[in-house]
Amino acid sequence: MTTDDTPDPTTGLQRQRNPVTGRFTRSMTTVRRDARAADLFADGLNFQQIADELGYSHRSDAQKGIERAKADVARPAVTKLIDAESQELDALYTEAVAILQRHHVTVSHGKVITWLNPETGVEEPLQDDGPKLAAIQTALRVRESYRKLHGLNQPEQVAVSGGVKYEVVGINAEDLT
């Protein structure tokens, strides 16, 4: 992250710009100020009093700072939840892959169905691809859930094409020329 040469006119603090997105990001100073704003709010100060004390340019900026502080407090719990969900998804994926790698035979009425292998002349159990196909579908759904959980999916783009045709009813087209 790089720091702009000029301080933020509303706070007097240096602002940090993300080199990839170009957006300003919070510095440790602003994180601490937002946390202090939340403390003052908990002590009973209103947004205007907090803005005046901490140098926010407007009371709504103090309110936004308090909201950011709340999000900061929740972030470790959310991270823990995401980690727990990731572990569960990893276990499900591992099980789906294990099922995919097993040998499945066709069973009907409690008996294994066999077929005569023309190459060997030996009766062999008939392979059942159903469980493998179901395991593949399950593995794909688990991976999709994992990508959604971690925000790895690219935003979907919708292309709209076509035209619009306007028709004026009640007017002769020759009168328009």
Digitized pLDDT (tens) for each residue of the chain, 177 residues in all: 444 444 454 444 555 666 767 777 778 888 899 999 999 999 999 999 999 999 999 999 999 999 999 888 878 888 888 899 999 999 999 999 999 999 999 999 999 999 999 999 999 999 999 999 999 999 999 999 998 888 887 777 777 777 777 777 777 777 776
Q: What is the dihedral of CA 88, 93, 98, 101, to 10 degrees?
A: 180
**pLDDT value, residue 14:** 52
Q: How many other CB atoms are there within 10 angstroms of residue 21's CB atom?
A: 8
d(CA 34, CA 47): 12
**pLDDT value, residue 177:** 67
Beta bridge partners of 112: 107
**pLDDT value, residue 16:** 65
